[in-house]
Every structure is written in C-alpha cells, then in structure tokens.
C-alpha cells in the first residue's frame, strides 16, 4: 500500500535539493571608451539588440564609473555569450 503525503513519508525540501549546487551569477568584463574604466557587469546591466545585419546588432550598458551610455557592436560570438549568460535581448525587425 502507498502512504499518503500527509501521513506517510514525504520528501523534504532539504533532501529534494540536497544534490543541487548553488549557481554563480554570470558577470561580463567590459570597458568604457569615455573614461577608460574596466569593470564587471551582471547580465541585468547589459542589453543586446539583434538586427538584420552586423551593423544593427549591438550591446549596450551604462558605465558604472562615469555614467556614459555605451554601445558596442556584437558579432556572432558576443551574441552567443550574452544570450547564454542571460542578457535581455531585443530583436529588431527590418522594414523591408
């Protein structure tokens, strides 16, 4: 016979999650062309825009040191790293 969840042996939260490891947040190294500052940014501090061409695909962030709005081109590898790291992505549609 099976035991009920309320009166029998259940799985505790501690035992259910015992094998899981904590996840380290992803950080990205970046630099500011204005103040030349070098720093690490969390995925939430970056935005990725994917356009129809390499000219319209870029990532952006606000420099934590000087407050400048920074926009840099994003090639295929950068797009792969940023999307894999959880950066919020906006897909730009062409009007053609």
Mean pLDDT of the chain: 84
Q: pLDDT tens-digit profile of 11-37?
A: 776 666 666 665 677 899 999 999 999
Per-residue burial over 73-90, b = 16 or more CB atoms within 10 Å of its CB, e = otherwise = ebeeebbeebeeeebeee
Higher pLDDT, 85 or 96: 85
Distances (CA, A) of 2 to 10, 13, 91: 11, 20, 51
Pairing of strands 38-42, 27-31: antiparallel
Q: Quote the CA–CA distance of 83 and 80 in Å, as a whole number.
A: 5
Q: pLDDT tens-digit profile of 40-82?
A: 999 999 999 999 888 899 999 999 999 999 999 999 999 999 9
């Amino acid at each position: 016979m099976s035991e009920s969840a309320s009166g029998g042996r259940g799985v505790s939260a501690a035992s259910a999650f015992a094998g899981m490891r904590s996840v380290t947040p992803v950080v990205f190294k970046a630099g500011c062309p204005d103040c030349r500052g070098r720093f690490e940014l969390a995925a939430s501090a970056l935005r990725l825009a994917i356009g129809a061409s390499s000219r319209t695909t870029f990532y952006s962030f606000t420099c934590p040191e000087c407050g400048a709005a920074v926009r840099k081109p994003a090639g295929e590898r950068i797009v792969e790293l940023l999307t894999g790291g959880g950066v919020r992505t906006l897909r730009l549609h062409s009007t053609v």
